[in-house]
Amino acid sequence: MLTTKLLAAVSGALMLALVAPGASAADAMPGMAKAAKQELGASAAFAPDGSLLVATKQGEHVMLYRSNDDGKTWSAPTAVNAQPEQISADGENRPKIAFAADGGLLVAWTRPLGKPYSGAIRLARADDGQRFSAPLTVHKDPAEITHRFESLLTTPDNKVILAWIDKRDLEAAKSGKKPYRGAAIYAALSTDGGRSFQPEYKLADHSCECCRVTSALDRDGAPLFMWRHVFEPNERDHALARLKPDGQVESVQRATFDRWKVDGCPHHGPSLVVDEQGMRHAVWFNQKDGAGRVFYGQLVPGAEVRVEGQRQVGGARAAHADMAAAGGKLAIAWKEFDGERTQLRAQVSSDSGKSFTEIALAATDAASDQARVIRRHDKLFVFWRTEKEGFRLFPLP
């Protein structure tokens, strides 16, 4: 049973109906075929002034929605890209929102190209948070190949780093008739708040092909990126890269050890958070002991990453978990199909992940996006977009 406080948090959920139908196909990986689905992918973030921003696809534009009352009402949306172009907006590869240290509003997305599963990483900046400059392609490589699943990270010294899945090395290996596992992770660095980017560089070989990449700032401010990796010969666990101040790689370490052997991409990336005490927390999906599950664990740094407190999140059908930390609390949100409806659930910890309280937030019988956990100062919220109910915001206790 929920406590009165938790019930109040749930009943205080706010919503706006907004439906933008569309469909996308997943990468054609062996044994991992996926049906076309609604392109409901959206990102939400609170601006420095406390307003709620949502970026999502509408036709051939990324649209930015703004609410000054936590989702009760919304201003007319702004087109981030004035000129129409293809936009990717599924759950693993949606538009992203971030703020540069100088206050500039950044929106990044993947632009699908002509060939299947190809793409270009795009970014637009609004100096005043309203009027966007023409979008730029972050990477110099013009090849019509995979540049997709970008992760957008900003630093206090006004740097912007994007990292993404890139198949240029796979294509080169194919041309040379050499074996190559998976894809690679590339990154590009901006030192002027996202107005321009230096030439991209490789973080690591052998990433998985189509799981989202996640990022965070380490306890000392160093950029961290985490992704599903293909460890030899075909174990699809996760890797964690720590970067130097100039964006170059300091280390790449194995971060999970479930040893899932599968010749295909699960389309299920991780989420990474570093809390106020400097503890690294992660949630991820893997198969362990023959069962696919969502897991939570603390990634303890060292010569080798050590996973502590690994535990299952949700039930047998839990999927696509996300997390954030604020105000001494850690929150995980995910969706879970109960056989009839998709449930939105969350867990909140006040002791750095040692224990959690679970909360039932909402349910839908239609298509839905993945859950996003977002923060405003020391408060945590869950944002969820569904086909029928639209944008919904749930304050967490």
What per-residue confidence (pLDDT) applies to 245?
87
What per-residue confidence (pLDDT) applies to 266?
87
Residues 6+ apart with CB under 8 A from 201: 186, 187, 188, 247, 248
- Let me know how long the chain is: 397
Q: Hunting for tokens 């730029």 — which residue is that?
A: 136
Model confidence at 19: pLDDT above 50: no
Model confidence at 27: pLDDT above 90: no
| Structure-token pair, residue 316 | 């047998």
Asked if 57 and 87 count as a contact pair (C-beta separation under 8 A), the reply is yes
How many of the other CB atoms lie within 10 Å of CB of 279?
18
Residues 6+ apart with CB under 8 A from 344: 333, 334, 335, 360, 361, 362, 363, 364, 368, 371, 382, 384, 394
| Rounded percentage of the chain residues whose pLDDT exceeds 90 | 85
Write out the DSSP string of 108-123. EEEEE-SSTT-EEEEE
Tell me which DSSP letter residue 90 carries. B
Cα–Cα nearest to 375, from 243, 222, 216, 143? 216
- The distance from CA 42 to its chain's CA centroid, rounded to whole angstroms, is 10
**291: confidence class by pLDDT, cuts 50, 70, 90:** confident
Residues 6+ apart with CB under 8 A from 304: 253, 254
Model confidence at 218: pLDDT above 70: yes
Asked if 28 and 34 count as a contact pair (C-beta separation under 8 A), the reply is no
Cα–Cα nearest to 244, from 192, 203, 272? 203
pLDDT one-digit tens code per residue, 129-142: 999 999 999 999 99
pLDDT one-digit tens code per residue, 318-368: 999 999 999 999 999 999 999 999 999 999 999 999 999 999 999 999 999
Q: Is 54 exposed, middle or buried (0-12, 13-18, 19+ CB in 10 A)?
A: buried
Tell me which DSSP letter residue 84 carries. -
Asked if 126 and 105 count as a contact pair (C-beta separation under 8 A), the reply is yes
Model confidence at 263: pLDDT above 90: no
Residues 6+ apart with CB under 8 A from 159: 101, 189, 190, 191, 247
What per-residue confidence (pLDDT) applies to 36?
53
Cα–Cα nearest to 22, from 36, 6, 5? 36
Strand partners, 160: 154, 190
Q: Where is average pLDDT lowest: 2-11, 101-110, 385-394?
A: 2-11
Q: Kindly report the pTM of this predicted structure.
A: 0.90
d(CA 163, CA 209): 14
What per-residue confidence (pLDDT) applies to 262?
85
Strand partners, 243: 249
Domains, the chain, with CATH or none = 4-19+40-395 (2.120.10.10)
d(CA 347, CA 349): 7
Q: Calculate the CA dihedral of residues 315, 319, 323, 328 and round it to 10 degrees.
A: -10
Backbone Cα Rg of the chain: 20
| Structure-token pair, residue 225 | 């990126």
